[in-house]
Every structure is written in C-alpha cells, then in structure tokens.
Structure 1
Amino acid sequence: MWGPRPTPNASSVSPQPLWPAPQRATDTTRGWIVTALLGVIAALTRFMGLGALSDDGTPIFDEKHYVPQAWQMLHNGGMEFNPGYGLVVHPPLGKHLIALSEAVFGYNPWGWRVSSAIAGTICVILIVRIGRRLAGSTYAGALAGILLICDGMFTVVSRTGLLDIFLIEFVLAALLCLLHDRDQVEDRMVTTLQAGTTFTSEFGPRWGFRWWRFSAGVFLGLATAVKWSGLYFIVVFGLLSVMWDVALRRRYHVSRPWVGTLRRDTFPAIASLAIMPIGIYIASWWSWLRAENAVYRHVGVSHAWWSTFIPRNLQSLWYYHQQMFTFHANLTNSQGYHHPWESKPWQWIANIRPLLYYYDTGVEPASGPHSCGPDGCVQAVLLLGTSVIWWTGLIMLVWAIHQVIIKHDPRYTIILCGYAAAWLPWLLNWDRQMYFFYASALVPFICLGLALMLAQIDGWVPNIPTIPTATSGNRNKPRKHAQHIWNVRAAWLTWCRNIHIGRVIVCAFMGLVIANYVWILPILYGVPISPDLWDLQHWLPSW
C-alpha cells in the first residue's frame, strides 16, 4: 500500500504501475473444492452434539438472556416483552436470527443454537475465501480455514445461542466484499488503460458505482445491528477502503492521488460505508419503531428546536440508545460490578483468562456409573482459545508489524486493521467489566495472520552462503576455523533446502494445533470427563 510518492508525469495516468498489484489466485476449481470441503468439516464440528448440553433443559451462561428474548420476539411482533423495568441492552438482529431457528426447531437447546452453528460454518467458508483472495493462494485460504475450525473460542461461540458469532459472520462478509471491491477497481483501471484511454484529469479516473463496497456497507450495518462493536469495524474498514483508493491512484502515477481520492472516492465511500450502515441499523429496529408497547417507545419526546423535524418514534429510539449507553458506561468495577471470571483486554490476546460457561460435578455419563471414579464426572464448557493458535498469534502480531513497517506489505495492514478494530477500543476503559468472549472478533484475524505467515514460511528457500577460502600467512589458522563454521552452516542450510524445511515447519505447527484442539475438545463440547482430566486441562493457574 505504501511506497515513495511517484513523480508526476506529463500524463495523469501511466500504463505501467509504480509497483505490482496484489497477487491473484487462479486455481478457481481447486479453490471452491477446498472451500466446500472445509465448510463440510466446519458443519460437522459445529452441529455434532449441538443440543446435548443444557442446564436441566434451560439455557447456559448468557443464553439465559438472549434465548428467552428471541422466543419473546416470535410471539410479540419481533420485539421482546416490555420488562416494566430495566431495558434490553443490545440491538435486536442477533436475537432475530436466534428466533428464526427457534421458530423452526422449537424452544430447546438444538433450536436456539442452530443459527449460531450455521453462522459458524459460514464464517469458515468466508475466511477461506478471504485468505485465498488476500494472499493470492488457495493454500493460505485453506490454512486460515483449518485454523478457524480448530480454535476453541470459535468452537464455543458457534455452538451456543449468543450474539458474537453473528457479529463475526457479518464482519467477515464485509471484509470479503471490500477485497472484491479492491480487486474490481484495479481491474477497471487496467481495462481502461489497456483500451488506450487517456485521462486528462490530474485526479485520475472515475470508477463508477461499486456494488461490492455497497454490499460491504450493508454487512457492516448488520454487524452493528447485532452488537455496537460493529461500529469500530465501520470506522476502520471505511478508512482502509479509502486508503486502498489512494494507493491505487499512486500505483498508476496519478498526479494528485490524495486530492483525487478526496474529490472522487470519499463521498461514495461515506455513502456506502457510513450512511448505508446507519440506515441498515435503524431498519433493524423496525419492529420496535412500529410497536406501541415496547420499552421506552413513548418516552423520548424532546422540546429542542430540531424535534419538530424528527418523528417521535425516532426521538424515543434515541432516548432508548442513551439509556443503553448509560448502562454500558456504568458497568464498571468501580461501580461495584465484579465477576469471578471477568478479564481484561491484555489477558485476552495471550489466552490467559478463559470463561466458564457451564460446570457440573457428580455427572454419571452414558458409559456407565462410576466410570470417572467414586465422585462422578465433571461436565463443563470452558471458553478457551486453542493455546497454540493464540500464543503463536502474539509472534504473528510482531511479524505483521514488521512486515507493514519494514516490508510495506499491504496484506498484513488488513490483518492489523481488523485486529485493532476488534481489540484496541476495549483498552479505552480498563475499569469496565469485561469477559473473554468480547475478544471473539479477534479470532479470524489471528487465523488470517497466521495463515499468511505460515504460507511465507512454507515458501522459504534458504540461500546457501559462499564459503570463504583460507589464505596463507599468519591468519591461516583462524581462517580455517571460520571456514569450518561456514561449512557447517552451508551443510545445514543445504539440508533445510533439500527437505523443504518450510513445509516441515508448517506441517509440524498444524499438527500441534490439531493435537491441542483435540485435547481441549471435551471442555468445549461439555463431554463428561474425570476430575483428574479436568485438572490436566488447566495449563495455567489463571485457567
């Protein structure tokens, strides 16, 4: 994305780019086969035993909030019952999606989790396509998909009736649309230049309506209609899209790329990536706006000068959002809100403090009584990331920063932007009560970054150094010693080249990921295990 500013030419656009365009994958058939295969594996791991675990037939953890609210929506015109006190503190779309599966399968564990499992499967499909388009390699897309399938946190959030999986789904869909938009605009530029068209404007060409970017705005609006965390992605992805436009104009020697982007791309970007998401978000409240008995429906009547121009139901909606914001702002440790499983953002990125969703002891499994010992089995669901992924993700983060700053690699810019949108805002209020599942939107960007890094490692071919020749004279002895060191180094690098050491490293790493995932599967699925095995699952004291 970045590079030295080009020297303005006599023509506004040069037919030869300043630096190469992003690499494209060409193995279309193989790409879709890999996508379909990993989608099937994702579905199997999401749906297997999906409805087996419940708290005596009732929801577990925060399902106790969203699952009943979704059921109420089915019987109350799309909105929760008016609680008479308190308020509902998240937008309605995520609960609408849970309600859809409840409408089909009923009010039972399977019914309120099917939508999440479908969303989790779609996320894997999306990340394969994103990784493939981002790296120009089906191999990298496959690595990203496998990593996402094998992450413990992602497994749990895609197997429970909570909201975060839908946020991830729409964010990934928006990112894929933006990548398509980036490539489509590049194609339009190249096609125009190949046609021999000359641009006289110093701002470069106009690119017409951009449906992919418009679609990204729709998905960002849907993400925000699930949780307000989607707002951060609107800001970051919007800036990223504009910067891509600047980079494209610079790459093709547009004389004034920044001004050209401001004049020709900024307003369309705002319309697609800001105004459209706002419209989608407001539309998600349609059931509340048309209701007469919804909470705060007739409260927010203002006497300000602008109140005559805004319908009363929108004024009430604004008042409702003020109350929601007040609730979130006051949910702090200093206000007395504490929880034994709460955690802070700096703990999330290292997988230090997981979150217990469900725990029961003395369980008798189907294999027979006392199969776990005299005290019975432990049955638990622990929101825990796959440690090999999360701990290596810290190395990836450092590597990504290096690649952006030193190598100017735009692929890692995307990774860092997504990482920042999912994590940095939570650092602004350390006092807030927070939990590990707030970091769920981090998972796909960790997996994408690792996939890129692994693909680079796989393609690494070491250079064999030239062995220095010993000279005669007084320095002959130390030169022989140095030559021996060079001989050993050259032999080592030759061996690495011959065995394709990069691929060996990647295979070993992926094997560790899968082994780690299989090890923690019982506490992700809620499989009854012995107390001793439960203790062995806890690698850190904070777990």
Structure 2
Amino acid sequence: MGRVTLAPPLNDTVGDLDGPEDRGAAEDLGTRPGPAVPDPVFGATDTVRGWVVAAIVTIVAAVTRFWDLGTPTDQGTPVFDEKHYVPQAWQVLTGGNWIEDNPGYGLVVHPPVGKWLIALGEGMFGYTPVGWRFAAAVVGTAMVLIVFRLTRRLTRSTPIGAVAAVFMICDGVTFVQSRVGMLDIFQIFFVLGAIAALVADRDQTRARMHRVWMEGRIHDSPWGPRLGFRWWRFTAAVLLGLALATKWSGIYFVVFFLALSIGFDIANRKAYHVQRPWLGTLRRDVVPAGFSLSVTPVLVYLASFAPWFAGETSVYRYSVGNQLGYDGAFSWVPGAWRSLWYYESGILKFHEGLTNSAGNHHPWESKPWTWPMGLRPMLYAVQNGPDQCGGGPCVRVEMLVGTPAMWWLAFPMLLWGLWQWLIRRDWRYATVMVGYAASFLPWFLNLDRQMYFFYATAMAPFLIMGLALCIGDLVGADGRWARFTQHRRMIGVGLASIYLGLVVTNFIWLWPILTGQPLSLHMWNMQMWLPSWR
C-alpha cells in the first residue's frame, strides 16, 4: 500500500496525509520534488485468483448454510421469533396484496422487506422449514462472498480476504441467523452491501481525483474539483433504505455511514492537496452526500409501503375517519399519509413500552455490554428425545452463540483498530470501527429496553473484518511493514495459521448446538463453557 505517483512539483510540502500508504510516500519522498499522492491501485491485482477463491468460499458457505436446513423445528412449526415473521410472510404471499392484514398473526411491528424475502422462499418450497428459511440461507451465503470481496479490497490481499471469508463461515452468530426465518440476517446483508458500495465509492472518487491531479487541474479551484454523480454512493443509499425497510434499527447505519462517507471525502481532498479540503468537502460533497445517504433511504423506506397504500385491508390504512378525525392541525395532509403516520407512531409506542421497568422480562434477554464477547447467547429451540445417546436420553438444542475463538478477542481487536484509525490514520480500520459502532453504540441510548443477543448480529461482520485486518498486520500482508524480515514474516504466518485452525476447530465443536443435532447430556454440559450460557 506504499506505492505513490509523484506529480510535477507544485509546492515544497508534503501536505496532509491520509493513512499509512501516504505516510509511506512521505517517508520515501527523500529529495524528490513535489508532493506525494496515493497510487490509484484499489484492491488486489490477482483478479483471476480472486474470483476462484471467491467461488470456493461461497460454495463452502452454501454447504454449511443449507445442510439440514429444515432442522430444528417446534414439532414442525417455527421456532423462537420465527413464530412472528414466518406466518406474516405467508400472509404476504397468500393474501394477494403483498401486505400483512390479518390481526390473527399478531401486531405488525416491522417494515415489509424482510418478510417479502421470507415469502419468496415460501413461494418456492411451501409453508415448510426449508421454505421459510431458504431466503435467509441464500443471503447468509452471499454475505460470505461480500465479506471476502470487501476485505480483499480493503487489504489489497486475496489471502487476507480468504481469511475473513473463513471467519465468516465459522461465525456462530451469522451461521445460525442464516438458518432461521427471522429478519436480522436480511438487514445485515443490506448493510454489508452498503458499506462495500461506500468503499467502492471511495476508490472511484480517488480515481477521478487522481485524473484531475495528473491533468494539473487540482488547483483550478481552492475547493477542489466536482466529482460528478456517484453511482456507488447512490447504490449504498438504496441498500441502506432496504435495511431500514427491514428493521427500524437500519437508521443507525444511515447516520454513521453518512459520517463515514463525508470522512472519506475530506481525506480524499486532503490526499490530493486541495487548498481548502474541509471547505471543499462542505461545498462540493456534503449536500449531495446528505441527499443520497439521508433522503434516498427514507424514500426507499416509504416506497416499500406501496402495497400498504394500495391495499384496502391494510393495517390502519383508513385510520383517518376511524381512529383519527378529519380536522385538526394536519388536516391538510392527505389521509393516507396521516394514516401511515398513525400506524408508525403506534409501532414506536409499542417498542417504547418493551422495557424492564414496565415489567417486561425474558429469561434470555441481555444488555449490550455483554454482546462483544457473547456472554449471554440465545436459546432458539430445545427438544428432548426421542433419540438415545450413549445409552441415555438425547437433547437437541439450537443456540445463537458467537464462536468464542473470535468473539472473545473483540476488545483486543477494538483497541488495536482504534489505535490504527485514530493514531495511524488507517482508513481501513476506520471503515470497520464505524460499522461496528453503528451496530453497537446506539443500543446504549435506552438500557431499560428489552434486548437480546440477536441484536448483535450486525456486529459480527465488522468483528470478522477487524480480526482479518489484524491478521494482515501480523503477517505484513500489505507490504507496509518493510522492517519485517523473512523470518519474522514466517513466524507471523505460522501464528495466523494456528489461529485460523483454532477458529475452524471451535466452530466444528459448536456445530451440534448451532444446528440442533442430538447430544448426550454429558456432551451438552461440555458445550456450555460459561454459566451465563445456560
């Protein structure tokens, strides 16, 4: 990551630097004239090998996600929160209007996109366990591919991308969520796609800026050039809208990713020595970014309610004239929009009432400070017998457990990542840390709320990519550590290989309680590593 291109001399200063590649450029500048700028090389250059590895890890992910997908069930019916979303998705599929309008299925408290995806699987395989889990398995498999390609782009290393893919395959949280008919996996799929699109947008804008630099036009304006329409950023906005239209917590990612995108823009203009990079970002980038990453997700969210607007039996579709009057301060607002507001405010009120102080308690609830290490997992399904294991009864259990070999290293990874971002100004760690923060920190705003470990599903991909970046630093994969001797590099590769094997072994050990396979009571007790797991 240290290669640079030197333009004809414009001044005698190196200027503001952005990340380790630019610092390496400054250190290598020596007596050569002119400021250094990053070399516009984005991602690994071994294209063919990259796609071969991508195919391999995706196939392995598909095998693990689809194996025995119909197990476990509650005597043939959905387990845990599948009991909410699976019948709602069936109503979406069979009701004729792609909406949920049957009160018998319970209060409709989440937007429709995730249930549409579940309904697609049910349409192909019927109201069966495979049917209501098929879409989740497809999305869970695709997430492994996204993590591989994104990490490979971040590190410019196909092997480190492959390490991240193996971590993703072996992560107990995303694995289990890929095998149940719940909404979280769909939201995180869209979030991952959005962050990948933002990284692609960063690279694309740098390529445009580099072209302007090489043409000698970088100082035509003290604010730097206009960068044109940014399709990758627009793609990220649409995906964020789909995440928001799956679960409301997608709004956190809208806020954090908007800040990340603006940070990329500031660093971009500084890296190419724009005279006034902050003001240039404010004038050239903030308004388009705000429209793309703030307005577009809301528009996508509202568009997801098109069937609701069109339906005659939609929940609260005709609140005006029933629950609401025709007059009042907002009588000028069309009735359909007022009805939607009434519906959405009712959902907000419902969620606000799910607090411990209001008497809402669950034996498997947890608070966010326990999530980074997965100290309080979730029990999704349990069934005793009728199998016999070692002459005694068997137990079948499915638990949402983060693979300890990875999750128990969350805090060291976070400390290293924050140091690399804030002290060494490494944009790759900034990307991971912002994503992790968006999936974690907002839950501290209302600790009285009833919460569960499956809310931490969004943290898993960013934990995994952070660990992969750490592995890259350990082995000097990006070439930044010139002081690494061949001997030291071999030691790093050896330690990384041992750790990778430990992660895979840990995943294999947990396999029975991740998939609901029969276990003897003795083996079940051996699987419970912490008292808080029970």
| TM-score normalised by length of structure 2 | 0.89
Quickly say closer, same or farther: Cα 1:39–1:307, change in 2 above 3 A.
farther
User: Hey, what's the Cα distance between the residues in 1 that align with 2:308 and 2:104?
Assistant: 15
**Candidates 87, 93, 100, aligned match of 1:80:** 100
User: Hey, what's the Cα distance between the residues in 2 that align with 1:132 and 1:229?
Assistant: 28
User: Hey, what's the Cα distance between the residues in 2 that align with 1:437 and 1:339?
Assistant: 14
Alignment-derived partner of residue 437 in structure 1: 454
Alignment-derived partner of residue 77 in structure 2: 58
User: Hey, what's the Cα distance between the residues in 2 that align with 1:80 and 1:527?
Assistant: 34
**Candidates 138, 144, 148, aligned match of 2:158:** 138
**TM superposition shift of 1:295:** 1.5
User: Hey, what's the Cα distance between the residues in 2 that align with 1:498 and 1:398?
Assistant: 23
**TM superposition shift of 1:109:** 0.3
Residue 103 of structure 2 aligns to a residue whose secondary structure is coil
| 1:469-518 deviation line (CA, Å, top 9, x unaligned) | xxxxxxxxxxxxxxxxxxxxxxxx99x92681100110010111001000
Residue 359 of structure 1 aligns to a residue whose secondary structure is strand
Alignment-derived partner of residue 47 in structure 2: 28
| 1:355-384 deviation line (CA, Å, top 9, x unaligned) | 1000111231xxxxx33423x210010110
User: Hey, what's the Cα distance between the residues in 2 that align with 1:28 and 1:505?
Assistant: 27
Quickly say closer, same or farther: Cα 1:199–1:153, change in 2 above 3 A.
same
**TM superposition shift of 1:305:** 4.3
Alignment-derived partner of residue 331 in structure 1: 354
User: Hey, what's the Cα distance between the residues in 2 that align with 1:463 and 1:31?
Assistant: 23
User: Hey, what's the Cα distance between the residues in 2 that align with 1:353 and 1:218?
Assistant: 34
| 1:230-285 deviation line (CA, Å, top 9, x unaligned) | 11111111111111111111111111111111111111111211111111100111
* One-letter identity of the residue aligned with 1:27: D
Tell me, yes or no, if the aligned pair for 1:415 and 1:448 is still in contact at 8 Å: yes
**Candidates 190, 194, 207, aligned match of 2:227:** 207
| 1:117-160 deviation line (CA, Å, top 9, x unaligned) | 00001100101111011111112211111101101111100000
Quickly say closer, same or farther: Cα 1:69–1:84, change in 2 above 3 A.
closer
**TM superposition shift of 1:82:** 3.4
Q: How does 1:283-294 map to 2 (within 5 A)?
A: 283-294=303-314
Unaligned runs of 5+ in 2: 1-12, 18-32
User: Hey, what's the Cα distance between the residues in 2 that align with 1:84 and 1:498?
Assistant: 64
Tell me, yes or no, if the aligned pair for 2:15 and 2:35 is still in contact at 8 Å: no
| TM-score normalised by length of structure 1 | 0.88
| 1:202-256 deviation line (CA, Å, top 9, x unaligned) | 1110011110100000000000111111111111111111111111111111111
Tell me, yes or no, if the aligned pair for 1:23 and 1:135 is still in contact at 8 Å: no
Residue 500 of structure 1 aligns to a residue whose secondary structure is helix
Quickly say closer, same or farther: Cα 1:146–1:194, change in 2 above 3 A.
same
User: Hey, what's the Cα distance between the residues in 2 that align with 1:396 and 1:75?
Assistant: 47
Query: Is residue 517 of structure 1 aligned with residue 507 of structure 2?
Result: yes
* One-letter identity of the residue aligned with 1:92: P
**TM superposition shift of 1:422:** 0.2
Residue 342 of structure 1 aligns to a residue whose secondary structure is coil
Quickly say closer, same or farther: Cα 1:324–1:499, change in 2 above 3 A.
closer
Query: Is residue 413 of structure 1 aligned with residue 413 of structure 2?
Result: no
Q: How does 1:384-395 map to 2 (within 5 A)?
A: 384-395=401-412
* One-letter identity of the residue aligned with 1:42: A
Tell me, yes or no, if the aligned pair for 2:376 and 2:453 is still in contact at 8 Å: yes
Query: Is residue 119 of structure 1 aligned with residue 147 of structure 2?
Result: no
Residue 382 of structure 1 aligns to a residue whose secondary structure is strand
**TM superposition shift of 1:311:** 2.3
User: Hey, what's the Cα distance between the residues in 2 that align with 1:28 and 1:400?
Assistant: 28
Query: Is residue 536 of structure 1 aligned with residue 526 of structure 2?
Result: yes
User: Hey, what's the Cα distance between the residues in 2 that align with 1:523 and 1:32?
Assistant: 33
Quickly say closer, same or farther: Cα 1:20–1:377, change in 2 above 3 A.
same
Alignment-derived partner of residue 337 in structure 2: 314
**Candidates 366, 382, 385, aligned match of 1:362:** 385
Quickly say closer, same or farther: Cα 1:4–1:462, change in 2 above 3 A.
closer
Question: Which structure has the greater CA radius of gyration?
Answer: 1
Tell me, yes or no, if the aligned pair for 2:136 and 2:186 is still in contact at 8 Å: yes
**TM superposition shift of 1:393:** 2.1
Superposition CA RMSD, Å:
2.4
| 1:446-486 deviation line (CA, Å, top 9, x unaligned) | 00000000011012899999xxxxxxxxxxxxxxxxxxxxx
Q: Which 10-residue stretch deviates more, 165-174 or 256-265?
A: 256-265
Q: How does 1:257-268 map to 2 (within 5 A)?
A: 257-268=277-288
Alignment-derived partner of residue 367 in structure 2: 344
Aligned residue pairs: how many? 500
**TM superposition shift of 1:18:** 5.3
Quickly say closer, same or farther: Cα 1:462–1:305, change in 2 above 3 A.
closer
Residue 358 of structure 1 aligns to a residue whose secondary structure is strand
**Candidates 350, 361, 381, aligned match of 2:398:** 381
Tell me, yes or no, if the aligned pair for 1:69 and 1:95 is still in contact at 8 Å: yes
Alignment-derived partner of residue 389 in structure 2: 371
Tell me, yes or no, if the aligned pair for 1:6 and 1:250 is still in contact at 8 Å: yes
* One-letter identity of the residue aligned with 2:532: S
Query: Is residue 454 of structure 1 aligned with residue 474 of structure 2?
Result: no
User: Hey, what's the Cα distance between the residues in 2 that align with 1:436 and 1:49?
Assistant: 24
User: Hey, what's the Cα distance between the residues in 1 that align with 2:180 and 2:491?
Assistant: 40
User: Hey, what's the Cα distance between the residues in 1 that align with 2:192 and 2:481?
Assistant: 38
Residue 380 of structure 2 aligns to a residue whose secondary structure is strand
Residue 379 of structure 2 aligns to a residue whose secondary structure is strand
Alignment-derived partner of residue 228 in structure 1: 248
* One-letter identity of the residue aligned with 2:121: S
User: Hey, what's the Cα distance between the residues in 1 that align with 2:371 and 2:104?
Assistant: 36
Tell me, yes or no, if the aligned pair for 2:14 and 2:34 is still in contact at 8 Å: no
User: Hey, what's the Cα distance between the residues in 2 that align with 1:183 and 1:298?
Assistant: 47
Residue 409 of structure 2 aligns to a residue whose secondary structure is helix
**TM superposition shift of 1:304:** 4.6
User: Hey, what's the Cα distance between the residues in 1 that align with 2:482 and 2:147?
Assistant: 36
**Candidates 155, 160, 176, aligned match of 2:196:** 176
* One-letter identity of the residue aligned with 2:284: R
Alignment-derived partner of residue 25 in structure 2: none
User: Hey, what's the Cα distance between the residues in 1 that align with 2:504 and 2:16?
Assistant: 47
Unaligned runs of 5+ in 1: 8-13, 365-369, 466-492
Q: Percent of pairs identical after alignment?
A: 49
Alignment-derived partner of residue 396 in structure 1: 413
Tell me, yes or no, if the aligned pair for 2:88 and 2:105 is still in contact at 8 Å: no
Tell me, yes or no, if the aligned pair for 1:15 and 1:252 is still in contact at 8 Å: no
User: Hey, what's the Cα distance between the residues in 2 that align with 1:85 and 1:410?
Assistant: 46
**Candidates 85, 100, 104, aligned match of 2:124:** 104
